[in-house]
Amino acid sequence: MRGIVLAKLYTHMCHVYPKFRKATRKQMYQFMARYYQKRDWSFMNYGYAPEDTAEVPTLQSEDEINRYCIQLYHHVANTVELRGLKVLEVGSGRGGGADYIKRYLGPAQMIGVDFSDKAVNLCRRHYCVEGLSFMPGDAEHLPFDDGSFDAVVNVESSHCYASMTAFLAQVKRVLKPGGHFLFADFRPREQIDELDEQLAHSEMQLVRQKDITPNVIEALDADHERRIAHIRRGAPKLLVKLIQEFAGTKGAGIYKGFRTGAFVYKSFVMQKA
């Protein structure tokens, strides 16, 4: 019960104070990268269960354990042809998504950027794939020249940022003309109109959008036991309940929010003119 109360209080503080949200999320991810360094935890998203079998990727056996998390990346990043291109992931976390995109979708160069330097160091130790690299960076001040990338990927990360408007301006800046922004994240229902407005004013063209909340709920249901076992195996006992809240396990506030419609999860494809 205490973990649930703390999670609700923290969520409220994050909503009221965006800079607090950004700073504390960085510290949280720094702690997680420092505390748990095994490669068996390489994704931190809620997952995706496709409605259409054509959207189900064929995976190597070692990737099957992360199928639902991978399917969210596949849903987002497989919407345009990335083979041979230069791709940036903003908010690369523990590196599983960038690694998947590089190995399965074939960009010539895949760079993952994350606010947590400890997470970046962890990725550098875990992934030795030609053309895949990781570096520290702030989503609102990307360390790249104008027009550097053919595509920018951002999965379940933007809700941590202090300014979505600043982030979108950076995405537009680093994209080449005609480049794509491949994006998915959730918001409280009352903030969805604001998100749509921010995207509409980003000076990038909307190509596709989809409410994928039902797909995320189905993935959380199917992946529940694995998530619970992983948390109990790897988390400090005092933090198990709190981490279960943020992992979206059944009974967690975010899970209930998806179920009741209090939270909405959407995916978008945008293109720079």
Local structure of 193: helix, strand or coil = helix
Spatial distance between the Cα atoms of 208 and 263, rounded to a whole number of angstroms: 20
Distances in Å between the alpha carbon of 166 and those of 113, 173, 194, 195, 206? 16, 11, 14, 13, 18
Please give the mean pLDDT across all residues of the chain.
Answer: 89
For the cut 70, the answer to whether the pLDDT of residue 25 exceeds it is no
Spatial distance between the Cα atoms of 137 and 260, rounded to a whole number of angstroms: 35
State the pLDDT at residue 230.
82
For the cut 60, the answer to whether the pLDDT of residue 60 exceeds it is yes
The structure tokens 């059944």 sit at 250
Local confidence band at 266 (pLDDT 50, 70, 90 cut-offs): very high
For the cut 60, the answer to whether the pLDDT of residue 26 exceeds it is no
Helix intervals (H) in 130-239: 164-174, 192-200, 213-222, 224-234
State the pLDDT at residue 84.
98
pTM above 0.85, yes or no: yes
Mean pLDDT, to the nearest integer, of 211-234? 92
Contact assessment for residue 4 and residue 147, using Cβ atoms and an 8 Å cutoff = no
For the cut 60, the answer to whether the pLDDT of residue 33 exceeds it is no
pLDDT tens digit string along 162-221?
Answer: 999 999 999 999 999 999 999 999 999 999 999 999 999 999 999 999 999 999 999 999
CA 140 from centroid of its chain's CA atoms? 16
For the cut 80, the answer to whether the pLDDT of residue 159 exceeds it is yes
Mean pLDDT, to the nearest integer, of 140-160? 97
Beta-strand (E) ranges in 60-174? Answer: 86-90, 109-114, 132-136, 149-155
The structure tokens 């396990």 sit at 249
Local confidence band at 247 (pLDDT 50, 70, 90 cut-offs): confident
Query: Which CATH code for domain 2-272?
Result: 3.40.50.150
For the cut 60, the answer to whether the pLDDT of residue 258 exceeds it is yes
More confident residue, 28 or 270: 270
